[in-house]
Structure 1
Amino acid sequence: MELLESVSESSNQIESTQLPLLYGLPDDLAIFCLSRVPRKYHPRLKCVSKRWRELVCSEEWQYYRRKNNLDETWIYALCRDKFEQICCYVLDPSSPSRCWKLIQGLPPRSSKRKGMAFEVLGKKVYLLGGCGWSEDATDEVYCYDASVNTWSEAAPLSTARCYFACEVLDEKIYAIGGLGSESSDPHSWDTYDPRENSWRSHLDPNIVPEIEDSIVMDGKIYIRCGTSAVSSHVYAVVYEPSSGTWQHADADMVSGWQGPAVVVDGTLYVLNQSSGTRLMMWQKETREWVAVGKAVIASYETTLSGLLR
């Protein structure tokens, strides 16, 4: 009798795993239909059944939506509230209300750290490093998976860092320079491969710890290290993926990089605050900086991470 009940339970489990995603349709057509459901409804899809939940959280689902241009860009922001606590928000630009939503579950140990990096890779947000008044630089890395709405620990940095540059290039995260522990080499940089969940450490004498800004442009990482103490020239280096080395950046381009920078559709914009506030654009063809127009900037402590699809 116990043997028959065991066989019956096994049969039910096999049948349940073979149930179609949508009755009457093969799974490839079901995915074709379900993948067109807007991202804001994905939490509801995961409540329908175990198979639907596994599908929405799978790499197959993400790949299919990206391949067919169905992925949707949401904006994530890392902020510090009036109590000096770190908090993370998300915004759906297509939402009529345009309201930022608080992401729950941020790791408590990182709540009051400063000098952290905040980066997006694929469907995940990474919170890296940082330090505090009574805490040295840390190598801790936390990962937020948007598909399951949870935070978890990722592989730690090879080098403890705070106030460092962090960028994504060729599906890898680069953690560059910054301040670290006494045993850390200030001329180092780390690369993270999400497929292996591991970091590799590198050294280059052109990297300095005092980093002020960073961008990715034309498949390269640019680091602005500030103004030389000897001259008024801005010191910047560029990472060449072909050789895996850092070199001095183009002097003409760097000369106008005197404020926060962002690259939009391959064009570099800089908020120049050296004399007033002007939005400047780097024109590659003529190799010159041109003014875009006046800008009024509100003062607040917010770091926009970029885009998460």
Structure 2
Amino acid sequence: MDRIIQPPLVDTTACLCRVDAGLKTVAGAKRFVPGAKLCLQPDIKASIHPTRNKPTRGDRNRNQSPLLPGLPDDLAIACLIRVPRVEHRKLRLVCKSWYRLLAGNFFYSLRKSLGIAEEWIYVIKRDRDGKISWHAFDPIYQVWQPLPPVPKEYSGTLGFGCAVLSGCHFYLFGGKDPLRGSMRRVVFYSVKTNKWHRAPDMLQRRHFFGSCVINNCLYVAGGENEGMHRSLRSAEVYDPNKNRWFSISDMSTAMVPFIGVVYEGKWYLKGLGSHHQVLSEVYQPESNSWYPIYDGMISGWSNPSTTLNGHLYALDCKDGCKVRVYDEVTNSWSKHIDSKMHLGNSPAMEAAALVPLNGKLCIIRNNMSISLVDVLKSEDTRGPSAEHLWETIAGKGQFKTMVTNLWSSLAGRNRLKSHIVHCQILQA
């Protein structure tokens, strides 16, 4: 068997990895992270972007200067980790020492352990010409942030997957390239380096498949393979700790999923079979088994959904102004949270994603407007009315949007300029 050359492992635990070892007092900084250990794995370096040759560690150590003049490095780190995330892009440009600090596992593990890590919203959009772009939204300062462009092999790809591992690695995988057909390729963006990197290819080419993350492992199942001209039953899982893909049990029937969610440790999928019939299956990782499901949760389930605080939520209208809650006791979607502010049925107002953000439900629409729902307050019967649980943090100025839509209609520009393909939350 030919030896497969794979990129280096990516450690997902809090550690003092090699890239941090150049800091003078990094050993003393261990006390900031209980249980931190020396990382035996190399740092991320399989960047897609071309880089110049780096000096050896010996040269680095000889020329090492303090992170902040006049302060020991451990105190300097204590200051730098408290800089808001919106400024981290500038911190990397100050000097090589600061870049190495932010590129290592220690810096962001420390922010997370101290409870100062920030969650940002990452949105992938496709324009009317089929080109892919992506954007990051800072919910604290409520501004969109610049990002390095997606790798060129994904600039026009259809039916690819998207997921987040280790909280700060944004993966794109599979899909159908306009020229090469179905792909096995996997790439990921690291918040630490602000660059794209390669990861091991999937075991099978596929597009329009289902994917999810359970226990920080990436699962994919079903979909299509252009070379096989049929739906797939196969499934596989990627373990970032082992940096390998593994086959898991096949699905009961071949399926092209159009919706999926992880609930109570199980992966629920709903899609179309080989004869365009609607199918539903659930996967149990503990037993590595699939089985069909037809209960009340699946009935009528067709909109974006997510779990938060052990509860399952789904959008209940096209513009995302109403959310329904799954009641496990009655095995039905019997509860609702209504904003009482309907935005209409235009494609621009369509809610494309529902994700958890800082303990709230986050609804993202095609026009990049974002709403938050405080579901914890909704569970308090003495709390405010349902419409007061909603907050708009992006796309404020509904009147302006309505005027813009009206002008576009009068000018004959009804075609949607772009639509959201994927949405994820990254923490750093």
Asked if these proteins are the same fold (TM beyond 0.5), I'd say: yes
**TM-score for the superposition, normalised by structure 2:** 0.61
Partner of 2:393: none
Distance in 1, matches of 2:86 and 2:211, equals 28
Name the aligned partner's letter for residue 140 of structure 1: R
Say whether the 8 Å CA contact 2:183–2:207 is kept in structure 1.
yes
Distance in 1, matches of 2:180 and 2:113, equals 44
Identity of counterpart residues, as a percentage?
Answer: 30
Distance in 2, matches of 1:25 and 1:221, equals 50
Distance in 2, matches of 1:225 and 1:170, equals 24
Task: Please show how residues 57-68 of structure 1 align to structure 2 within 5 Å.
Answer: 57-68=103-114
Query: What residue ranges of structure 1 are gaps of 5+ in the alignment?
Result: 1-9
Q: CA deviation at 1:268?
A: 1.9
> Which of the residues 125, 129, 153 maps onto 2:198?
153
Q: CA deviation at 1:212?
A: 1.3
Distance in 2, matches of 1:271 and 1:11, equals 56
Distance in 2, matches of 1:265 and 1:56, equals 31
> Which of the residues 235, 247, 250 maps onto 2:279?
235
Query: What residue ranges of structure 2 are gaps of 5+ in the alignment?
Result: 1-56, 351-365, 367-418
Question: Residue 188 and residue 13 in structure 1: after superposition, are their counterparts in 2 closer, same or farther (change >3 A)?
Answer: closer
Task: Please show how residues 61-210 of structure 1 align to structure 2 within 5 Å.
Answer: 61-95=107-141, 98-121=142-165, 122-182=167-227, 186-206=232-252, 208-210=254-256
Per the alignment, in what secondary structure is the counterpart of residue 47 of structure 1?
helix
Per the alignment, in what secondary structure is the counterpart of residue 114 of structure 1?
coil
Say whether the 8 Å CA contact 1:176–1:190 is kept in structure 2.
yes
Q: CA deviation at 1:270?
A: 2.4
Question: Residue 22 and residue 102 in structure 1: after superposition, are their counterparts in 2 closer, same or farther (change >3 A)?
Answer: closer
Tell me if 1:254 matches 2:301.
Answer: no
Distance in 2, matches of 1:205 and 1:27, equals 53
Say whether the 8 Å CA contact 1:80–1:302 is kept in structure 2.
yes
Per the alignment, in what secondary structure is the counterpart of residue 307 of structure 1?
strand
Per the alignment, in what secondary structure is the counterpart of residue 153 of structure 2?
helix
> Which of the residues 264, 273, 287 maps onto 2:308?
264
Distance in 2, matches of 1:216 and 1:128, equals 19
Question: Residue 11 and residue 227 in structure 1: after superposition, are their counterparts in 2 closer, same or farther (change >3 A)?
Answer: closer
Partner of 1:16: 63
Say whether the 8 Å CA contact 2:157–2:176 is kept in structure 1.
yes
Say whether the 8 Å CA contact 1:78–1:118 is kept in structure 2.
no
Distance in 1, matches of 2:239 and 2:156, equals 27
Distance in 2, matches of 1:146 and 1:11, equals 27
Distance in 2, matches of 1:107 and 1:12, equals 33
Partner of 2:403: none
Question: Residue 258 and residue 44 in structure 1: after superposition, are their counterparts in 2 closer, same or farther (change >3 A)?
Answer: closer
Name the aligned partner's letter for residue 148 of structure 2: Q
**TM-score for the superposition, normalised by structure 1:** 0.83
Say whether the 8 Å CA contact 1:215–1:221 is kept in structure 2.
yes
Q: CA deviation at 1:102?
A: 4.5
Tell me if 1:282 matches 2:400.
Answer: no
Q: CA deviation at 1:211?
A: 0.8
Please list every run of at least 4 consecutive aligned residues from structure 1 whose deviation after the TM superposition is greater than 6 angstroms.
Answer: 227-231
Q: CA deviation at 1:219?
A: 2.2
Q: CA deviation at 1:135?
A: 3.9
Name the aligned partner's letter for residue 267 of structure 1: H
Say whether the 8 Å CA contact 1:257–1:272 is kept in structure 2.
no
